[in-house]
Chains A and B, each alone.
Chain A
Amino acid sequence: MIKDTLWTLLAVVVFPGGLFAMALGLALKGVERRAIARLQRRVGPPLVQPFYDLVKLMRKRTLIPDTANRFVFLTVPLIGLAAMGVAAAMIPIPGFYQPSPLLGDLIVLFYLVSVPAVALMLAGSASGSPYGAIGFSREMAIVLAYEGPILLSLVAVALHAGAAMGQPIALNLSDIVNYQQQHGAFLFDPWLLPAFLTYLSFIPANLGIAPFDIPEAEAEVLEGPLVEYSGPPLGLLKLTSAIKSVVVIGLGVALFFPNGPDGIAGLVVFALKCVVMVLAGALLKAAVGRMRIDQAVLFYLKWPELLGVAGLVLVAARL
């Protein structure tokens, strides 16, 4: 029991949560920035640029605005980071890492994934700046818009996997991964295609990739919820968003295409899948502009929502 707890703690703090997820997340950010630079005919920053940025921020002074709620302002970044550390530890890396059941199931993970968004909302409103407030309301609108589709997508996969394994619903991510390791990835199952597309459409909104980078739109609301942050807390917020990209992409990989070799090669394949997703994100970011918040919300309520429902109906019809 104690050993289990220790291992779990290690998983959260060092691998695959904590330090490892941070490193991977920052490296992915570096890859993204470099890729976008190349698409725009630029040289771009070195791949390790996000590490430099983070280290630099850790040494800057923290300014707390007079209008801000000091306690909330400073703790919120930590909450987001902690949630993401735990979430990262819950993502199985096939053939390499199996999360401990102590960490909880798919439902817990679903809630953890929305914590950074909530943290960002709190950060925005705690900062007491009008831009932060607008960032807050936009973040809220977009979260409400994508929460539905993502839930539908998760439920569809869980139902499908559950039926295949003879359970009512499979909520354990490891089981879902193991099933796919043996019976082939869900990505190639046409019945799950709508669910997969729904998940894909959720990624840019959650990670703040164009055209859905509305809450942090620099030209409109400065950087929205981040506007009043500086120094280490800003670094933590940036770090959180880096880990979040690992979690969200990792969850997608686990749900739809976990297959890979055993051992360290499995880890490499996992990282490569993340890189491919990030490159696709970079292409999207470089190829489009930003939507208006009402357009984005309408978009989610229309297409991903419909796709999500369709996906669930398809899966249910097969049961």
Chain B
Amino acid sequence: MTFLKILWDNLRKGPSTEAFPFGEATTPAGYRGKVTFDAATCVGCNMCEHVCAAGAIRFAEADDGLHFVIWHNTCVSCGLCAYYCPTKAIKLSNDWHLSHLQQDKYTQLDHGVVAYKRCTSCGDKLLPTGSVLTQLAYKGPNPRAERLMDLCPECRRKASTRGEAI
């Protein structure tokens, strides 16, 4: 009897079916979907690659900079990369539209290049530190530190011995 009442209520309330795929589906803002990468804030610490259980993230050094690749087809969206990223260059969007045809399997990736800077003193290439990290480290702008960051480690050492250190 209890169940007949449930059926009657069901009939009365009408279908509870979502409009999707004929309409839009609702997605919570915090849904852990496709990973996004911002090369401008990345400091190349490789922490994301280190914590990624599925091996979805790869850093590779090239002439023009540090290449970051994430392959969505092996990403488990656990969010550890975003959690441990010191500058939050890596984030999880709530985009879940990832279905694709088999021929596109190996193109489901995002790619970013953290471009090398040139040392202002000797012209050697070096990885930019990123303003977010400086903000974190010095709790505010610090012109002397920022000048040092334009130098390669070798020139930095020389600058320090010359007494330009902080």
Contacts and interface: CB of A to CB of B under 8 A. Distances in A.
Interface of A: 37-44, 283, 286-287
B15 A287 contact: no
The contact size tier of chain B is 10 to 19
Nearest to B17: A43
Contacts of A37: 15
B11 A38 contact: yes
A41 B3 contact: no
B15 A41 contact: yes
13 contacts: A38-B10, A38-B15, A39-B10, A39-B11, A41-B10, A42-B15, A42-B16, A43-B15, A43-B17, A44-B15, A286-B7, A287-B3, A287-B4
Given A39-B11, A283-B7, 19 more contacts: A37-B15, A38-B11, A38-B14, A39-B7, A39-B10, A40-B10, A41-B10, A41-B13, A41-B14, A41-B15, A41-B16, A41-B17, A42-B15, A42-B17, A43-B17, A44-B15, A287-B3, A287-B4, A287-B7
Contacts of A42: 15-17
Nearest to A40: B10
| Residues of A contacting B: mostly | helix
Nearest to B10: A41
Interface of B: 3-4, 7, 10-11, 13-17
Contacts of A44: 15
A40 B4 CA distance: 11
Contacts of B7: 39, 283, 286-287
Contacts of B15: 37-38, 41-44
| Residues of B contacting A: mostly | helix
Closest 7 CB pairs of A and B: A41-B16, A41-B10, A43-B17, A43-B15, A39-B7, A41-B15, A42-B15
B48 to A, nearest CB: 43
A283 B13 CA distance: 16
A283 B3 CA distance: 11
B28 to A, nearest CB: 23
A286 B4 CA distance: 9
B1 to A, nearest CB: 10
A241 to B, nearest CB: 25
B41 to A, nearest CB: 46
Contacts of A287: 3-4, 7
A38 B10 CA distance: 7
A37 B14 CA distance: 10
A66 B10 CA distance: 46
Nearest to B13: A41
A41 B15 CA distance: 4
Contacts of A39: 7, 10-11
Contacts of A283: 7
A37 B10 CA distance: 10
A141 B4 CA distance: 30
A44 B11 CA distance: 13
Nearest to B9: A41
A37 B7 CA distance: 11
A45 to B, nearest CB: 12
A110 B152 CA distance: 97
A212 B76 CA distance: 44
Contacts of B16: 41-42
Contacts of A41: 10, 13-17
A42 B11 CA distance: 10
A290 to B, nearest CB: 15
Contacts of B13: 41
Nearest to A289: B3
A169 B14 CA distance: 50
A39 B10 CA distance: 6
A85 to B, nearest CB: 36
B18 to A, nearest CB: 10
A42 B17 CA distance: 6
A37 B15 CA distance: 8
A38 B7 CA distance: 9
A317 B77 CA distance: 77
Nearest to A35: B11
A283 B14 CA distance: 16
Contacts of B17: 41-43
B15 to A, nearest CB: 5
A287 B10 CA distance: 12
Nearest to A286: B7
